[in-house]
């Protein structure tokens, strides 16, 4: 009996549902009731409203077999009825699709590409705000898409379409120098990893190395974290640091830091793809084997 009970738990199907759209009454009930009607058990629900934009993440588990295609089809009918943009994410053992977002700093991207074979996933597309790093993608035969729209809203509309086209599971921000809005972030809860050049929560925002240099810090570090709607405040995955020599120039600190950024982003990306991370109460926990 004990063995059968364990097998049942192991066969549990988990579906992540994101709902984004104009805020209105009844949305939470509509989607939670839908999940219940399909025999699902709600494991997690997070919701937020910013300037009339509603975002919700539902994690629903099924102890019995569920027809995923039928479930997805029916929830899209509900999405159309409620005029919301809905997507579902299913945790499977199949290869994950990764999108890497870049601007013009090459090191993080170079390190990820160099170690691509060690990732439990496929780098399906690289999205850049300019064409500077396109040659790196071409060299390894990975599609590179440039999104140059100055309006972040228009840029994100295009990026959303690209991510849907490549069925993206994880987004890695390899020194991507634009701030993603809640409209985008809410669609990929705990599936966007960023690298920040300081030991957060110290020195958030831009020019972190300059701030550390000006304050004369003795240790400088980097932080990989999941992205939320609050800039540089998402759950911390991994941090590393290096000592600063009093005679180090700002450029020397930057050089050391950028190398560490690349290594730390790669490590966090690997840990996520290996299913070693779990976010509970805004903290990242390393799963025990």
Partners of residue 185 on adjacent β-strands: none
The 3-state DSSP class for residue 209 equals helix
Q: Which residue has the tokens 């030991």?
A: 199
240 in active site: no
- Residues 261, 224 contacting (CB under 8 angstroms): no
- Beta-carbon count within 10 A of 81 CB: 9
Dihedral sign for Cα 17, 18, 21, 23, please: positive
42-45 CB contacts, 8 Å cutoff, 24+ apart: 43/14
189, HSE (Cβ side, Cα atoms, 13 Å): 24
- Residues 133, 126 contacting (CB under 8 angstroms): yes
80, HSE (Cβ side, Cα atoms, 13 Å): 6
- Residues 58, 32 contacting (CB under 8 angstroms): yes
Dihedral sign for Cα 207, 229, 260, 155, please: negative
Write the CB contacts of 157 (distance below 8 Å, at least 6 apart in sequence): none
Parallel, antiparallel or unpaired: strands 41-50 and 53-62? antiparallel
Catalytic-labelled residue, pool 72, 85, 157, 232: 232
Q: Annotated active-site positions, please?
A: 232
């Amino acid at each position: 009996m004990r063995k059968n009970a364990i097998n049942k738990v192991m066969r549990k199907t988990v579906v992540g549902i994101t709902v984004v759209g104009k805020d209105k009454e009844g949305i939470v009930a509509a989607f939670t009731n839908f999940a219940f009607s399909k025999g699902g058990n709600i494991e997690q629900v997070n919701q937020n409203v910013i300037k009339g934009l509603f975002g919700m993440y539902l994690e629903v588990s099924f102890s019995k077999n569920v027809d995923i295609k039928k479930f997805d089809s029916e929830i899209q009918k509900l999405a159309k009825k409620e005029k919301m943009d809905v997507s579902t994410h299913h945790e499977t053992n199949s290869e994950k699709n990764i999108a890497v977002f870049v601007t013009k700093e090459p090191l993080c991207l170079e390190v990820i590409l160099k170690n691509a074979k060690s990732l439990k996933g496929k780098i399906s597309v690289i999205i850049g705000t300019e064409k500077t790093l396109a040659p790196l993608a071409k060299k390894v035969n990975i599609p590179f898409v440039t999104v140059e729209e100055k309006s972040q809203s228009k840029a994100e509309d295009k990026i959303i379409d690209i991510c849907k086209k490549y069925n993206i599971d994880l987004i890695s921000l390899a020194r991507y120098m634009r701030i993603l809005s809640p409209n985008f972030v809410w669609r990929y809860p705990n599936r966007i990893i960023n690298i920040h050049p300081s030991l957060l929560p110290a020195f958030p925002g831009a020019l972190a190395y300059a701030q550390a240099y000006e304050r004369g810090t003795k240790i400088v570090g980097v932080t990989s974290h999941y992205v939320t709607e609050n800039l540089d405040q998402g759950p911390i995955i991994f941090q590393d640091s290096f000592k600063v020599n009093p005679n180090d120039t700002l450029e020397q600190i930057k050089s050391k830091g950028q190398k560490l950024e690349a290594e730390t982003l790669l490590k966090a990306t690997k840990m996520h793809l290996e299913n070693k991370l779990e976010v509970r109460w805004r903290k990242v926990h390393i799963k025990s084997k």
